[in-house]
Amino acid sequence: MSGQVHSSFYRFVALADPQRVVERLRELVQDQGLGGNILVAAEGISGAIGGPPEVLHAFEAALQSDPVFQGAFAGMDFKHSACTSKPFSLIKVHLKPEIVAFGIEGVSGLPDAARPDSHVSPARWRELLDEPDVLVLDNRNSFEYRLGHFRAAVDPEVRNFRDFPAYVQAHAEDWKAQGKRIAMYCTGGIRCEKTAAWMQEQGLSVYQLEGGILNYFRAMPDAERDWQGECFVFDKRIAIDSRLEETATTAEQVYADEPDGAWRLARAKRLDPGA
């Protein structure tokens, strides 16, 4: 075992000075033995990091309590999984226009009290999988779907998250005519936050799995009842099973049949080239 823990987290929250947040985060992670990526934008924060448990927990405590953040991240959910191998070699904190790039101007994941809450718990999600008027939609790239997905889920066959809106627009009227409700999921929940809000604006009835696949694995001891295959993760572990344990799958295997597989593999190695 590597003795490391992986932590993923996000929160959509309005940040008045995201540059100051980035600067403080860089101070907190410097020379601490952490690796990973943290994105900050005016709309909030998203991170996937790894490190020794005590170091990771100290950082998470600071993230929630440091006065520079003014309570913006207090009570944030951290999804943990143990690591057989070190998930990251480098630690990077980036200032971005969005914490997840959706590609449509004006779409935000910030909470809106005027919009119906589309989040559902893992237990409710299991029920939705069996309801006949529900279409289960995978809100990830096609190579992620092929590696593993929820039973009965539809593959949108997109190669980039930015292509997902076009897929929805091409099918939305048919779904509405058929009386379909859309149950949507992604790895950690963040992609669904923006997509769900936008899909509601298109007149669709949408549910999103709270905390994504990772939360389902954490909450449901028998998640294998509903999950087929493995779950791709964006770090050196490559894939985990429904028990949140690293598998033997390699990046080369995941990208082997992708038209842009060589580019994806090279990009992954370039972004985190260490051992």
Encode the chain in three state secondary structure: CCCEEEEEEEEECCCCCHHHHHHHHHHHHCCCCCEEEEEEECCEEEEEEEECHHHHHHHHHHHHHCHHHCCCCCCCCCEEEEECCCCCCCEEEEECCCCCCCCCCCCCCCCCCCCCCCEECHHHHHHHCCCCCEEEEECCCHHHHHHEEECCCECCCCCCHHHHHHHHHHHHHHHHHCCCEEEEECCCCHHHHHHHHHHHHCCCCEEEECCHHHHHHHHCCCHHHCEEECEECCCCCCEECCCCCECCCCHHHHHCCCCCHHHHHHHHHHHCCCC
Catalytic member of 83, 186, 192, 231: 186
- Residue 186 annotated in active site: yes
Q: Which residues are catalytic?
A: 186
